[in-house]
Every structure is written in C-alpha cells, then in structure tokens.
Amino acid sequence: MLDDFFVRAIVAGAGVALVTGPLGCFIVWRRLAYFGDTLSHAALLGVAMAFLLEIDVTLAVFVVSVLVALSLLWLQRRAGLSSDALLGLLSHSALALGLVALAFMTWVRIDLMGLLFGDILAVSRSDIAAIYAGGAFVLAVLAVIWKPLFAATVSPELAAAEGMHPARANLVFMLLLAIVVAIAMKIVGVLLITALLIVPAATARRFASGPEQMAALSAVFGILAVIGGLFGSLKWDTPSGPTIVVAAMVLFILGLTPIATLATRGGGGK
Amino acid sequence: MERAGRWLVRDIDLEVERGEIVTLIGPNGSGKSTTARMALGIIEPSEGTAWRAPRLKVGYVPQKLAVDWTLPLTVDRFLSLTNPLTAEEKASALESTGIAHLARAEIRNLSGGEFQRTMLARAVARRPDLLVLDEPVQGVDFSGEIALYELISSIRTNLHCGILMISHDLHVVMAATDRVICLNGHVCCHGTPQVVAESAEYRQLFGARGASQLAVYQHHHDHTHMPDGRVRHSDGTVTAHCHPDDGHHHHDGEHNHGDAKPGDEGNASDAR
C-alpha cells in the first residue's frame, strides 16, 4: 500500500496533522502564532547548517529551533523589548541568515521551493517512520505535561502558586514545538507550518466545549485538510503544501457558515 | 521585594498558622499582592526568605485572571484545573459558593461576581492547607459579599486551613479575621479587629447574621509615600524611607479597631 507515492503522502500528512492539531490548540490559546512562525523561519537556517556541517536536516532544524526558542527566553529577560518585537527580530534574522548562508554555499544545489512549500509527494518510507515515531513521542510527552501546561495557559500565577511548575512545562512545550517544526517542514514547508498549527485549531474552537475535545477535533480537522488538500492538488495539479493549507482554510470558512451551526446543534453538541 | 530600584514592599514579617485567618489591608500599591505572591513562591524576594511547610497544599484565588475567548472552558473543567476531583467534590464546592447552577456554563460568559465565586470554589475544592485570597469579593454584590465572608470563615472551620486574605477595603474586614496586617510599603500596623456583633446599629443595617460577620476598622495613614519614593509624615517631616520605629509613626490613638459607635474611644490593640 505504501508503494504508491500518493498513499505515502496521505499517511505522512495525517501523521503530522495528528500532532500539529493538539499542539496548535496551545498556540491559539496562548497567542503564540508568531512564535510558531519564528521557529519555522529559523528552520531555513537549520537547513543551511545541515548542508554546512553535513549533518541530518531534521536534526539540524530541531537544534536551530531549540536555540531560537532559548534565545527568545533569554532575550525576554534581558533586552527590555516586547515579545512581539523580539520574535520579529529573531524570525527574520534567522530567515535572512539562512538565505545568506545558502547563497554562500555555491556548491550546494538546493530546491528552495521545496523547502519553503514542502515536498509531501516525495516522502519516503523512512520519512513516514520518522514522522510517526517523532509524532508519538511528542503526543506522549504532551499527555504527560498536559495538566501543568494547561493550568499555566489559564493562569501562570495560579499554576505556580499551586505547585504545577509552569516554567518547566513551558520549556518542554517549546521543545515539542521545535520537534514538530522539524518533522512538519518536509510536508508543508517552512512558510506554511504555522498554518497547520493554527487553522485546524481555530476551526475546532467553534465545535468544542472543552479543551481536550478541542485538541482532538483539531487533529481531525487537520487530517481532513491533508486528505482534501492532497486530492485537490492531484485533481488541479497544484503544489500540495499550499493546497493543504487552502483546504484547511476552506474547512475553517465552512465552520463559520450556518450549515455548521445547524450540524452542531443537530449533532447533540452544545 | 525590589523592582527597578524601587522597593515595592520591605521588612515584612508575616506568619499564617493553620486555622488562622490573616487579612492584609492597605491602599493601592502598598504591596499586598506582592507580599502574597512572595509567600506563594510565585516571585522570589530580593531580600529575605519565604518559608512554606513541606508539601503544603495551596489554594490560590488571584486578583486577576483573564480566560482567553479562544479557550473553551466550562466551570466544571476549571474546578479540576490543578488536581483531579470527583463529581461529588465539585458539586459540593459549587454548592457551597452558591453557583451549583453554573457547572456547565462557559467561564468567559460568567459575570464578575460569578467568576469570583467560581475561583473560590476551585481553590476550596482541592482542600488546601493554605488558602490565599486576593480580593475575594471584588465584583460581588453586598449581600453576596457577606455570604462569601461567612463561607470563608466556615471554610477555615471545616478544612482547618490557614487563610491569607487581601482586601483593599479599609472599612469592612471580617469579624472572623484573627489578625489584620496593614501594609503601606512595609508593615504599618497589625492587630486584632474587634467584633461589632453587639452593636445595635449594625444589627439594624445588616441583620443579625450579617452584623456578626462585620467589623469596622477605622484607619488613618500617618504618612504619605511621595512619587520620588520619599515619605512625608503627619508631622511635616520628609524622610527617604519609612520604618515603624523611626519616630514618625504615631500609632496610639490613630487606629480605631473594632467598634465604630460614635464617641467611643479607639482601642488600639496593636500599639507598640
């Protein structure tokens, strides 16, 4: 079954969506959309580093994302700038550094479009294995830190007062996000990872009555977007990464229409 | 605690025992919340220490808590935010704060007073050893306020926990408060508020039950903190800091704890 590139693409995409859904909920709840962008822009620098040091791309992207996340934490304490400005600074510095570094390495022939927009149709069996192993790890860790992370999302002060160690949960969450960026990069590309984190979660918001439910629904909407997007890209011969994001957006818009409202009411939801 | 070269609060010596209610009062910016946050370990004091008993279970009602509208959160789910609860535990916590009908309501649709009760229910439901309440009755109407104060004192009896309460209200503090500590950048004064239970005027105003829950704490600050950090005292002098023992504080006769009957002499129980 996995012999077919199209089936491989769906399996890989669904694996990524399964992880970005729940993680994306926290991005939406904590208003971290720009942070997701920053990490994914830094991924390009990671790719450049991988070529320069001749190491695995996914590993390099993960390391660079972690470094960017840690420097954000450090700058927040030191620089006296708003998080917003710091994120802009880090995001675009990392992106520009990555592009400059790639331009210097004239011996490297690199598919920049594939990096920016992903190349889901080229995923191999080992990519799928990496996605599912990494994804299972991320979801397992997320399940462990769910309670403190969620408490910290509602109120960091309250979580700290009642012994939930919010700082630790936040740090782990950032590491998880770095892993997700590293494994999702190949699917939708660095420019569109944030979309896969945010759009399904935003769609799920209207239908969910609890945080756990929203996380599960978000994963479902993400998978639907991957399947819809891939079939769309096959039918209209469009680039697959952007088509997946368009499909996610279409789901979001459908969720806003009266049809969806009727469906939720009729479906016994509140 | 010092922030950006300015001492927010300084020289605080505060202890909360099991089964005791301590109330912090003081004007805006006098460091009440900062003191509570230090006691809770949310912030580290820049000088001195905050000691908490090992494995102390804390229930905290913060002054402000904004739930983002993107977060689908019902009252029921909010109750078990930091520890798992059985359905009965949740129900009885909601029952005791008078919001049993709101269990399925979304947090962001609650009114200020309802949300305040929800936060109290959540803090109580986890059966804490120490309950810290930062302005627990803000946004609650007057009759509800009395009911909540009654509830707080019954919580102390039932759970036998220590309660540290913050109130900006200089006039109404609970009769059940064992000690009142007045902050104004430092411990300004402290003492036992006296009950006004027997006062006929109060029985008339609030009914017998309400009257037994109210105490009047009259208060005059004998110095003002100026914007540049210096302190002007009532005798007209200006000093760089204020310390209780610098000779500028006049506690005797200025504080009138307890009975507010006109003509009664104030009995400053905390006169040093």
Percent of chain A scored above 90 by pLDDT?
27
**Better-scored residue on pLDDT, A110 or B6:** A110
What is the pLDDT at residue A219?
94
pLDDT at site B192 = 61
Residue identified by tokens 């070529």 is A51
pLDDT tens by residue, A82-121: 878 888 889 899 889 988 888 888 777 777 777 777 788 8
User: Tokens 């760089």 — which residue?
Assistant: B240
Instruction: Rank A115-124, A186-195, A246-255, B2-11 by mean pLDDT and report only the highest.
Output: A246-255
Chain B 75-94, CB below 8 Å of chain A: which residues? 77-78, 81-83
**Could you tell me if residue A166 is inside a domain?**
yes
Is B22 within the bounds of a domain? yes
CA distance A99 to chain B (A): 35
The answer to whether residue A252 scores a pLDDT higher than 90 is yes
Pick the more confident residue, B170 or B262: B170
In chain A, residues with a C-beta closer than 8 Å to the C-beta of B70 are: 28-29, 202, 205
Domain extent, residue A158, equals: 5-194
List Cα–Cα distances, B136 to B116, B169, B207, B215, in angstroms.
7, 11, 22, 17
Are the C-beta atoms of residues B128 and B58 closer than 8 Å to each other?
yes
Q: What is the C-alpha to C-alpha distance for residues A67 and A79, in angstroms, rounded to an integer?
A: 17
What confidence score (pLDDT) does residue A258 get? 74
Cα of A40 vs its chain's centroid, Å: 8
Distance separating alpha carbons of residues A34 and B63, to the nearest angstrom: 29
Q: How do strand B21-25 and strand B179-183 relate by DSSP bridges? A: parallel
CB contact under 8 A, A154 and B67: yes
The C-alpha atoms of residue B52 and residue A106 are separated, in whole angstroms, by 61
DSSP B99: -
Chain B, window 109-128: residues with a beta carbon less than 8 angstroms from a chain A beta carbon: 126
A145 contact B CB<8A: no
Side-chain half-sphere of A136: how many Cα atoms within 13 Å?
Answer: 5
Residue B245 CB neighbours (<10 A): 7
pLDDT for res A199: 93
Q: Does A205 score more than 80 pLDDT? A: yes
Distances (CA, A) of A56 to A51, A182, B142: 8, 11, 66
Nearest to B185 by CA among B220, B226, B240, B225: B225
- The CA-atom distances, in angstroms, between B19 and each of A106, B62, B157 are 74, 21, 7
Most confident stretch, A254-268, B195-209, B243-257: A254-268
Whole domain around residue B195: which residue ranges?
A: 1-57+165-272
Whether A174 maps to a domain, the answer reads: yes
The mean pLDDT of B220-241, rounded to a whole number, is 58
Round to whole Å and give the CA distance between A165 and A173: 13
Tell me the chain B residues in contact with residue A151 when contact means C-beta distances shorter than 8 Å: 81-82
Q: State how far the Cα of B200 lies from the Cα of B196, in Å rounded to an integer.
A: 9
- Host H or E run for residue B164: strand B162-167
Mean pLDDT to the nearest integer, B215-231: 53
Mean pLDDT (whole number) for B21-38? 76
Contact residues, chain A, for B77 at CB < 8 Å: 210-211
Given a cut of 50, whether residue B270 has pLDDT beyond it is: no
Q: What is the CATH number of the domain that holds A37?
A: 1.10.3470.10
Contact B75, B105 (CB under 8 A): yes
Strands B172-174 and B214-218: antiparallel
User: Could you identify the residue written with the tokens 């630790």?
Assistant: A168
Which amino acid, residue A235?
K
Indicate the number of domains in chain B: 1
Does the pLDDT value for residue A152 go beyond 80? Answer: yes
Residue B39 included in any domain: yes
Say how many domains are in chain A. 1
B77·A211 Cβ contact <8 A: yes
Q: Could you tell me if residue B256 is inside a domain?
A: yes
Range A168-197 average pLDDT: 85
Q: Say whether B74 and A209 touch across the interface (CB within 8 A).
A: yes
Long-range contacts of B145-151 (CB under 8 A, 24+ apart): B146/B206, B146/B209, B146/B210, B146/B213, B146/B214, B147/B98, B148/B97, B148/B116, B148/B117, B148/B120, B149/B174, B149/B176, B149/B213, B150/B209, B150/B213, B151/B96, B151/B97, B151/B120
pLDDT classification of B160: cutoffs 50, 70, 90: confident
Instruction: Pinpoint the alpha helices (H) of chain B.
Output: 32-40, 75-79, 87-96, 112-125, 142-159, 200-211
What's B178's domain CATH number?
3.40.50
Phi, psi of A35 (to 5 degrees): -65, -40
Q: What is the DSSP letter of B173?
A: E
Q: With respect to residue A182, please indicate whether it lies within any of the assigned structural domains.
A: yes
Task: Dump pLDDT digits (tens) for A36-59.
Answer: 888 888 888 888 888 888 888 888
Task: Print burial letters for A172-192: b (CB count within 10 Å at least 16), e (below 16).
Answer: bbbbbbbbbbbbbbbbbbbbb
- Provide the greatest CA pair distance for chain A: 60
CA B128, CA B48: separation in Å to the nearest integer? Answer: 25
Q: Which of B70, B83, B130, B161 to mutate to test the interface with A (most CBs of A within 10 A)?
A: B70
Cβ neighbours of A80 (radius 10 Å):
8
Among candidates B58, B65, B132 on the partner chain, residue whose Cβ is nearest the Cβ of A163: B58
Question: Which of A122, A163, A118, A166 is closest to A146 using CA atoms?
Answer: A166
Does B128 map to a domain? no
Mean pLDDT of chain B: 67
Q: How far apart, in Å, are the Cα atoms of A137 and each of A96, A140, B58?
A: 31, 5, 32
The reported pTM is 0.76
Give whole-number Cα distances, A4 to A8, A126, A131, in Å.
6, 14, 18
Q: Does A206 touch chain B (CB under 8 A)?
A: no
Alpha-carbon distance A165 to A162, whole Å? Answer: 8
Residues of B in contact with A166 (CB under 8 A): none
